[in-house]
Structure 1
Amino acid sequence: MNFKDLTNKTLIADNDIDWEDLGAGVKRKIMSYDENLMLVKVAFEKDSIGALHHHPHLQLSYVAKGSFEVSMGDDKKILTEGDVFFAPTMVTHGVVCLEAGLLIDVFNPHREDFLK
């Protein structure tokens, strides 16, 4: 399924969407989005890294599985299943996967760069 086909989709089956391999033990699925909101699953193998970065989008991330060392600005904390982190606009953040895991990321507005 093409990512563009997901725009304004309201009933989404996980099996209908393929994983996008980002390399280095990280893959993602863009589950749904419109111009204002996007939900993305990101799977990490143990010891894989979500590199430090920043963006103009608001981001909420839910730890659905595993354990991550999360960097947010100058702070670091280990988060596990059920925990959440919030990345405000332009704040540098990233993760190191300590135990194979899954993050559920929500962005406002949607990440146009993910759709290319």
Structure 2
Amino acid sequence: VLLVSRPLIYVLFIGKYGIRSWTPWFLLLAIDCIGNSILSLITSLVAGGKDRMFHLSAPEKDEVKRRKLLFVLYLMRDPFFSKYTRQRIESTEKVLEPIPVIGFLTAKLVELIIGAQTRYTYMSGS
């Protein structure tokens, strides 16, 4: 239920508070943490007095890994991105800029990351 409702909750809170507000960002992070905590609790469920792990199938394990990787998107979403991540990326670009080939590739990579942040992070995993 949390996984299905989180995009709607995120959009509603962005509409109310704006993209650059910390409220939708923290709320979505809290929902993801609660969902992962519930999943961890269920998979380590103590059944009948015996320690018995609830086993997940291969597709379920893949989905759990995918959900955990979605936490990386929190580094790419505003306001975190504009306040922290973008500054780190741009400072790294400035350091590597004098190096001939690496500086060029870094500039293109930074351009791609910033472009992806403005388009992709709000649709994926939200």
TM-score (norm 2): 0.27
Q: Is the helix fraction higher in 1 or 2? A: 2
TM-score (norm 1): 0.28
Q: Is the strand fraction higher in 1 or 2? A: 1
User: Which structure ranks higher in relative contact order (CA pairs < 8 Å, sequence separation ≥ 6)?
Assistant: 1
